[in-house]
């Protein structure tokens, strides 16, 4: 027998009561009994039906709805963890037989499960984002710290030419503070048309990087040369799947200071020019006199002799220049052959004196020697130390005006032996005294007075200090003159 729902039971009861009442009434209408006596059975049936229905409802409430109410109450009290745990497969006792309630609870449970899963995913995403945000903040701080430590000025510009990043070196060079700037347009902060052209050029160009050499000066300082590299960042580097229409997302400018290289290039160029000049001068003399001889311009044998001597001396001069260059190169490369022997310093100085005497005579200089009467023994390579002495003397002769004096001295100083060359030349400033031993360095005012390569003193310094562990010193006063002194260990005295 099929089960009948409470509504049906109620309907049947009320229909039965109505039928009983009707039959009673009809019976009463045909009999002598009062109507109410005939209605009583019907009313009783109806009342019984009503009671039955009520009892049924109460029983149902007791069986199902109370648990459901308790269930909902417990749901309302649960926290997220308990709720998620409870969702898996739990049923409500007694409700599983009631399709309406169990279906409803199934729906509720499914919805709660779904929302719970979503919340879980969102929670995970939130946590992941939080981690990423922290990492990003840490990375940003790290990058800022690294950039601050980089000496090279660095600027980053977005696609609208707005400055988005500048390290401390850049702020110092261009004299601004990005955080305090109201208008961070690069055009306003770095007023350099050449730089802006480089920016535009880099963006237009298909390659991502362009470089150009430029000069900038920080404040009142001297301008310095920089190699500026502009690298364009585009979305291609950021997108996993770049397209043809990937746009630029900014440009990074790095300024590498190349002033030292430029200075070296300039000095090298000056050196090459000087060497060229020095080499061409004796060559000019040789060529000229050879031509005179060839054209028969020597009137007599005496003239021929003179011409040949000039050719010879100029050839010697050229040879000395080449030797100076090669010696410096060899010493710097550490491949020079050294043969040290104990010998008399004064003998060596006499030889140097003889070599430079003609040049002093030509300039009408008084070349004097005040050598110690003692035997000054030194352990030296004769050729190299003689060359050093010649270089000091030649230098003095070159930079001393006509008619003045150059003096060569030797003496014992404590446990060392010293020889010095004193001149009455133009003298050296403090800065020149610091730099006069640098290769290629030539004192500015001296350039107008005498041609030279700037190699004599550096070579002498190499010979004295690198080869013989001695010292080369200078004392000088502008407008008065200079004294260059070489000190060597005393190798002992012999009677």
Partner 1 sequence: MNKRILLCDDEFHIVRAAEIKFQRRGFDVRTASDGEEAWEILQEWLPDVLVTDCQMPRLDGLGLVRRLRDHDAMDDLPVLMLTAKSFEKQYRDTADELGILGVIPKPFSPRELLIRVEQIVELQPSNSQSQESIATDALPAEAAAASETSSAQTAKA
What is the token pair recorded at 409? 């001295």
Per rule CB under 8 A, is residue 112 in the interface with partner 1?
no
| Residues 6 or more apart in contact with residue 339 via CB below 8 angstroms | 381, 382
* Residue 425 burial class via C-beta count within 10 angstroms: exposed 0-12, middle 13-18, buried 19 and up: buried
Binding to partner 1 by CB under 8 A, coded x per residue (else -) over 307-346, reads: ---x---x--------------------------------
Shorter beta-carbon distance to partner 1: residue 24 or 282: 282
Residues in region 346-365 near partner 1 by CB under 8 A: 362
Residues that bind partner 1 (rule: CB under 8 A) add up to a total of 24
Closest separation between CB of residue 454 and partner 1, Å? 15
Strands 471-477 and 416-423: unpaired
Distance CA 214, CA 83 (A): 69
Single out the residue of 179, 222, 245, 295 in contact with partner 1 (rule: CB under 8 A). Answer: 295
Containing H/E element for 15?
helix 6-30
- 343 and 377 in contact (C-beta within 8 Å)? yes
Single out the residue of 291, 351, 370, 466 in contact with partner 1 (rule: CB under 8 A). Answer: 291
Per rule CB under 8 A, is residue 280 in the interface with partner 1?
yes
Distance CA 42, CA 33 (A): 15
Closest separation between CB of residue 392 and partner 1, Å? 21
Per rule CB under 8 A, is residue 273 in the interface with partner 1?
yes
Residue 263's φ and ψ, nearest 5 degrees, are -65, -40
Closest separation between CB of residue 319 and partner 1, Å? 16
Measured between alpha carbons, how far is residue 92 from residues 5, 70, 76, 116, 370 in Å? Answer: 21, 10, 15, 20, 124
Strands 405-413 and 366-370: parallel
Single out the residue of 289, 353, 419, 484 in contact with partner 1 (rule: CB under 8 A). Answer: 289
Residue 449's φ and ψ, nearest 5 degrees, are -95, -40
Closest separation between CB of residue 159 and partner 1, Å? 44
Shorter beta-carbon distance to partner 1: residue 360 or 408: 360
- 428 and 374 in contact (C-beta within 8 Å)? no
Closest separation between CB of residue 302 and partner 1, Å? 13
Closest separation between CB of residue 358 and partner 1, Å? 12
Shorter beta-carbon distance to partner 1: residue 79 or 402: 402
Tokens 């899963």 sit on residue? 117
**Contact window for partner 1 (CB under 8 A) among 32-40, 222-230, 279-287, 453-461:** 279-287
Per rule CB under 8 A, is residue 449 in the interface with partner 1?
yes
**Contact window for partner 1 (CB under 8 A) among 130-138, 140-148, 201-209, 280-288:** 280-288
Shorter beta-carbon distance to partner 1: residue 111 or 277: 277
Closest separation between CB of residue 305 and partner 1, Å? 14
Containing H/E element for 168?
helix 168-174
Residues in region 219-248 near partner 1 by CB under 8 A: none
Per rule CB under 8 A, is residue 277 in the interface with partner 1?
yes
Shorter beta-carbon distance to partner 1: residue 257 or 270: 270
Relative orientation angle of helices 301-333 and 382-398, to the nearest 10 degrees: 110
Instruction: Dump the DSSP string for 413-460.
Output: ETTEEEEEEEE-SS---HHHHHHTTSTT---HHHHTT----S-HHHHH
Give the binding site for partner 1 (CB under 8 A): 272-273, 276-277, 280-281, 283-289, 291-292, 295, 297, 310, 314, 362, 448-451
């Amino acid at each position: 027998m099929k089960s009948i729902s409470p509504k049906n039971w109620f309907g049947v009861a009320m229909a039965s009561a109505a039928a009983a009442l009707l039959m009673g009434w009809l019976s009463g209408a045909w009999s002598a009994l009062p109507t109410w006596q005939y209605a009583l059975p019907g009313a009783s049936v109806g009342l019984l039906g009503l009671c039955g229905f009520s009892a049924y409802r109460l029983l149902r409430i007791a069986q199902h709805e109370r648990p459901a109410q308790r269930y909902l109450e417990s749901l309302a009290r649960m926290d997220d963890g308990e709720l998620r745990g409870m969702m898996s497969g739990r049923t409500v006792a007694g409700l599983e037989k009631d399709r309406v309630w169990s279906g409803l609870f199934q729906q509720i449970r499914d919805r709660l499960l779904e929302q719970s899963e979503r919340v879980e995913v969102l929670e995970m995403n939130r946590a992941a984002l939080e981690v990423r945000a922290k990492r990003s903040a840490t990375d940003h701080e790290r990058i800022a710290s690294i950039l601050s430590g980089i000496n090279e000025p660095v600027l980053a510009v977005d696609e609208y030419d707005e400055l988005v990043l500048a390290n401390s070196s850049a702020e110092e060079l261009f004299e601004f503070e990005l955080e305090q700037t109201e208008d961070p347009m690069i055009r306003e902060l770095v007023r350099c048309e050449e730089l802006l052209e480089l920016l535009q050029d880099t963006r237009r160009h298909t390659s991502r990087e362009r470089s150009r050499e430029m000069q900038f000066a920080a404040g009142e300082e001297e301008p310095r040369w920089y190699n500026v590299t502009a690298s364009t960042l585009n979305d291609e580097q950021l997108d996993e799947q770049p397209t043809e229409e990937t746009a630029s997302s900014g440009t990074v400018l790095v300024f590498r200071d190349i002033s030292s290289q430029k200075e070296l290039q300039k000095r090298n160029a000056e050196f090459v020019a000087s060497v060229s000049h020095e080499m061409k001068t004796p060559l000019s003399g040789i060529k000229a006199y050879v031509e005179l001889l060839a054209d028969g311009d020597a009137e007599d044998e005496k003239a021929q002799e003179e011409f040949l001597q000039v050719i010879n001396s100029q050839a010697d001069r050229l040879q000395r220049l080449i030797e100076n260059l090669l010696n410096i190169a060899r010493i710097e490369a550490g491949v020079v052959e050294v043969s040290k022997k104990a010998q008399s310093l004064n003998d060596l100085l006499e030889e140097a004196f003889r070599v430079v005497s003609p040049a002093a005579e030509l300039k009408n200089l008084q070349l004097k020697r005040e050598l110690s009467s003692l035997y000054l023994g030194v352990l030296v390579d004769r050729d190299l130390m003689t060359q050093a002495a010649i270089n000091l003397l030649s230098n003095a002769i070159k930079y001393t005006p006509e008619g003045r004096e150059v003096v060569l001295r030797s003496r014992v100083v404590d446990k060392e032996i010293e020889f010095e060359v004193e001149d009455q030349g133009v003298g050296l400033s403090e800065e020149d005294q610091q730099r006069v031993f640098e290769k290629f360095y030539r004192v500015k005012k001296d350039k107008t007075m005498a041609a030279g390569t700037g190699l004599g003193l550096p070579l002498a310094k190499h010979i004295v200090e690198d080869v013989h562990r001695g010292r080369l010193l200078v004392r000088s006063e502008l407008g008065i003159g200079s004294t260059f002194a070489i000190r060597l260990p005393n190798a002992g005295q012999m009677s």
